[in-house]
Amino acid sequence: MSAGATASQENLLQQPGKAAGPCAMVIFGASGDLTKRKLVPALFNLAKANLLPKNFIVVGVAHDELTQEQFRDQATQFLATADRNTEASDWFGQRFLYERGSFADASTFSLLVDRLKKVDEEFKTGGNYLFYLATAPRFFAQIVQQLGAAGLSNEEQGRWRRVVIEKPFGSDLESAQTLNRQIKSVLAERQIYRIDHYLGKETVQNILVFRFDNAIFEPIWNRRYIDHVQITNAETVGVEQRGGYFDNAGTLRDMVPNHVMQLLSLTAMEAPVSFQADAVRNEQAKVLHAIQPLDSEEVLHVTVRGQYGEGLIADQKVPAYRAEPGVSPESRTETFAALKLNIDNWRWAGVPFYLRTGKRMAERHTEITIHFKRTPFAIFQHAPVRKLHANQLVIQIQPAEAISLSFGAKIPGPVLRVGSVDMSFEYTKYFKAEAYTGYEVLLYDCMIGDPTLFQRADMVEAGWRVVDPILDVWKVLPPRRFPNYAAGSWGPKEADELLARDEREWRKIEP
Ligand code: BG6
């Protein structure tokens, strides 16, 4: 038994779920990175857990000239060494078919219709299709329209057809609305699975369990007890091979309307009446709609942008953003963003949410911290205090998946001294959980038709509604002093000043 887990929990962990029903998964953009790094390893993990249907096939579609074998080898190259040449990997390897084609060309889709008919006959996949759009966003609407025109989106005689759309979903509110209109002219909302891989992370899902399966936190989860909330999403990586995309997008677009808004909405939402998809998503949408949009004056005061210059990451010298491949040497794109938002509802009125996210920061670290109010009267005010702060509840998303609560305790000894101590829980220590990609649960949920962890049209648009006014002001007022933080630091000093003005500071994140 895992250290700390009770016998019944251990039992629960080993209980197999029910395998999804027969289906074919069609991956558009199948020769890209997402397929080999995330989708294929996740599918394999599902196969090992007996959650993948026995009647299952992957049809990869891409522009590249590849044979069936080349596609199979390419797709499965990131399976762990221990997983190769096993019975499971042999079975799995036979599930990969390839179809070369252009997404603009209607004949690709008529070939696909024939291919899928044969697949249904040979592999008994039942005419159920999961289309995964792992392509550049400019193809999203086009592919959906082609699927519609080829009759591949029709759900008849109990067969299902679902489409997973990757991010970025639009580049501002208007483009997101347009994309929603385009895909909804072909598909019903229940067929659309807008993916945000943050919802596949265990600790992100655990926010719901933590909040709504424990009676002790909810009564204090509000403005009476909480002083403010911080969300930090720090990466040490730069733009890697994605300079071209990133230089047009910037950190605000890349991270905030999607990943950061997921973290915020799960933290701030009201309790749903059930764990049904729409019950949960209605509450998330409500809280996103309650975020006060910033006016231009506020954008100047409560948002900060930054771009990294050269610096040190793990003692290695790394180049400035402007020297990265695919990035303009005069780029004014932000690689760091910090903002303060307010949520206009009874629970959160007057409780600021401070958000920061950036690339090439000192540590890879994502967390949500609930900073509670101080005691109304400090009876130990004359006792020497070591590192004492108000209670903090830290929900760590990555790299460690953990939750800890800090509180004041008496330091042993004859003299009364008070210090901060932690009560903490770590996923891997407690559950000895295997490392998953996060895509397992999302793919499985698509196959069984559970959209709880996917974004509805209104949620995506609500995220953009928060970000749009900031994008507008930033566009007309280009940054004056970029780069303004060194790679390997915690971002520009203005981000610290944002909190200092409110007599607060970012929680110190130790390596
Ligand atoms: C992606 C962004 O959606 O999320 C990337 O486009 C970012 O720029 C990545 O690096 C972060 O994901 P994770 O799971 O590593 O936090």
- Tell me: the pLDDT tens digits for 317-358? 999 999 999 999 999 999 999 999 999 999 999 999 999 999
Tokens standing for 259? 């990943």
CB 335 within 8 A of CB 307: yes
pLDDT of residue 8: 43
pLDDT of 3 over the 90 cut: no
Asked if residue 42 and residue 27 are part of one domain, the reply reads yes
Asked if residue 164 and residue 71 are part of one domain, the reply reads yes
Position 82 in a domain: yes
Asked if residue 240 and residue 117 are part of one domain, the reply reads no
Mention every residue, 6+ apart, whose C-beta is less than 8 A from residue 81: none
**Ordered alpha helix ranges (H), 414-503:** 427-431, 439-448, 457-476, 493-500
Q: Which of 425, 408, 424 is nearest to 416 (CA)?
A: 408
Tokens standing for 39? 């989708």
- Pocket residue to mutate for ligand 1, from 37, 248, 255, 363, most atoms within 8 A of Cβ: 255
Single out the residue in 146, 169, 194 at which a domain terminates: 194
Asked if residue 395 and residue 290 are part of one domain, the reply reads yes
Asked if residue 207 and residue 184 are part of one domain, the reply reads no
How far away, in angstroms, is 235 Cα from ligand 1 center? 8
- The Cα 341–Cα 299 span in angstroms is 10
Peptide bond into 137 cis (omega under 30): no
This prediction's pTM: 0.93
Position 496 in a domain: yes
Determine whether the shortest distance from the Cβ of 298 to ligand 1 is under 6 A.
Answer: no
pLDDT of residue 388: 60
Atom 15 of ligand 1, nearest CA residue: 235
Asked if residue 45 and residue 28 are part of one domain, the reply reads yes
> Binning pLDDT at 50, 70 and 90, where does residue 366 land?
very high
How far away, in angstroms, is 341 Cα from ligand 1 center? 22
pLDDT of residue 382: 67
Position 181 in a domain: yes
Share of the chain above pLDDT 70, in %: 95
Single out the residue in 194, 223, 253 at which a domain terminates: 194
What positions carry a catalytic annotation?
259
pLDDT of residue 5: 44
Position 447 in a domain: no
Looking at the structure of the chain, the number of domains it has is: 2
Mention every residue, 6+ apart, whose C-beta is less than 8 A from residue 125: 22, 23, 24, 55, 56, 57, 116, 119
How far away, in angstroms, is 362 Cα from ligand 1 center? 16
How far away, in angstroms, is 110 Cα from ligand 1 center? 35
pLDDT of 6 over the 50 cut: no
Cα angle: 336, vertex 178, 257; to 5 degrees: 25
Asked if residue 170 and residue 262 are part of one domain, the reply reads no
Find the CATH number of the domain harbouring 213. Answer: 3.30.360.10
Please state which of the ranges 140-144, 198-202, 266-270 shows the lowest mean pLDDT. Answer: 198-202
69-112 pLDDT per residue, tens? 999 988 888 887 778 778 888 889 899 999 999 999 999 999 99
Position 141 in a domain: yes
Across the range 367-375, mean pLDDT stands at 95
SS3 content of the chain, % helix, strand, coil (to 5): 40, 20, 40
- The Cα 264–Cα 196 span in angstroms is 14
Sign of the alpha-carbon dihedral angle for 274, 277, 281, 282: negative
Position 1 in a domain: no
Position 78 in a domain: yes
Asked if residue 470 and residue 412 are part of one domain, the reply reads yes
Asked if residue 181 and residue 209 are part of one domain, the reply reads no
Atom 9 of ligand 1, nearest CA residue: 255
- Ligand 1 atom closest to Cα of 366? 16
Single out the residue in 194, 216, 251 at which a domain terminates: 194
pLDDT of residue 384: 61
Find the CATH number of the domain harbouring 78. Answer: 3.40.50.720
Q: Which of 114, 89, 108 is nearest to 24 (CA)?
A: 114
CB 89 within 8 A of CB 45: no
- Residue at 225: amino acid letter: Y
pLDDT of residue 85: 77
Tokens standing for 455? 């974004």
pLDDT of 510 over the 90 cut: no
- The Cα 43–Cα 483 span in angstroms is 41
Atom 13 of ligand 1, nearest CA residue: 198
Query: Which helix H or strand E contains 245, and what residues bound it?
Result: helix 243-249
- Ligand 1 atom closest to Cα of 239? 8
Question: Whole-number mean pLDDT of the chain?
Answer: 92
How far is C-alpha 89 from the chain's CA centre? Answer: 28
- Pocket residue to mutate for ligand 1, from 197, 232, 359, 439, most atoms within 8 A of Cβ: 197
Asked if residue 149 and residue 97 are part of one domain, the reply reads yes
Position 511 in a domain: no
Asked if residue 320 and residue 352 are part of one domain, the reply reads yes
CB 165 within 8 A of CB 193: yes
pLDDT of 462 over the 90 cut: yes
Which residue range is the domain that position 42 belongs to?
9-194
Determine whether the shortest distance from the Cβ of 461 to ligand 1 is under 6 A.
Answer: no
CB 233 within 8 A of CB 180: no
Determine whether the shortest distance from the Cβ of 254 to ligand 1 is under 6 A.
Answer: yes
- Pocket residue to mutate for ligand 1, from 38, 195, 235, most atoms within 8 A of Cβ: 235
Asked if residue 419 and residue 392 are part of one domain, the reply reads yes
